[in-house]
Amino acid sequence: MSDAMKNTRRAVLIVSGGMDSCVLSYYYAAAGFNLHLLSFDYGQRHLKELDYAKRYIEHLRQRYSSGPQALEILHETIELPIARLSPNSTSALLNADVEMPHGHYSDDNMKITVVPYRNPNMLLQAATVAWNEGASVIAYAAHAGDHSQYPDCRPAFVEAFNTMLARSMDDNTVTVEVPFMRFTKAQIARLGASLGVPFEQTWSCYEGGEQHCGLCGTCVERREAFLLAGVPDPTVYEREPDPSVYER
């Protein structure tokens, strides 16, 4: 029996190519969970994030490939037809004709990046995988900075979703965990640094260009998180935002 198979704790994580998902993966690995990581192609504009997910997951696999702390780490990308089912979407993440908003993530104009029912769709897929594999935990990397824009990243949503899971199966054993729910992104950056996360192998920018644009909400939030955390930022940005955008 392999070292990884000796460990029976298992978690199914929803992961993008971003820094929060990367830290989430390293967090559960450090806690000794075998992992099944699920990424999703839902027609997002920044599809290249999926390539970055593969990069940091390979780094994670190498770290836990052998020895007494070896883990089984699986990864797959699932296609969700959200874009196809939303031909008239006004979300900037799905419709390339919609201008991507610039500025701080907490600004009202960032609401145009909401993809309706994205997280519930992903969580249901994760719950199905978890049930079939005997995993009791599914998790995603929502954090305190998401609450103002995304209803499906708020504590009330997670509580309601867990109630739905409990009522969907008479013998349900699957629960959603959101360990970063009260964390700021700066706190996630500090945690990632302590776990040795390869931040250079993550992607945040919603534009999906050759480099991080530096101006969209996720770029501003990423840059700000590293600054506030006192963690070196390995990201190459095309442009630096006005420093006043951080004065919050």
Q: Which of 218, 216, 159, 225 is nearest to 192 (CA)?
A: 225
Is residue 15 a known part of a binding site? yes
Is residue 24 a known part of a binding site? yes
The C-alpha atoms of residue 18 and residue 40 are separated, in whole angstroms, by 13
Is residue 148 a known part of a binding site? no
Residues in contact with 213: Cβ distance below 8 Å, sequence separation at least 6, in sequence order: 205, 207, 219, 237, 238, 239
Is residue 80 a known part of a binding site? no
Is residue 98 a known part of a binding site? no
Name the residue with tokens 């729910």.
181
Is residue 153 a known part of a binding site? no
Tokens representing 42 are: 């839902």
Is residue 22 a known part of a binding site? yes
Residue 22 Cα distances to 37, 52, 110, 182, angstroms: 10, 10, 23, 17
Is residue 129 a known part of a binding site? no
B/e letters for 100-114, b = 16+ CB within 10 Å, e = fewer, are bbbbbbebeebebbb
Is residue 219 a known part of a binding site? yes
Tokens representing 23 are: 């830290």
The C-alpha atoms of residue 58 and residue 56 are separated, in whole angstroms, by 5
Q: Sign of the C-alpha dihedral, residues 36, 62, 222, 212?
A: negative
Is residue 43 a known part of a binding site? no
Is residue 217 a known part of a binding site? no
Is residue 20 a known part of a binding site? yes
Dihedral Cα 169, 31, 153, 158, nearest 10 deg: 30
- Binding site for Zn(2+), residues? 205, 213, 216, 219
Residues making up the annotated binding site are 15-25, 205, 213, 216, 219
Residue list, annotated binding site for ATP: 15-25
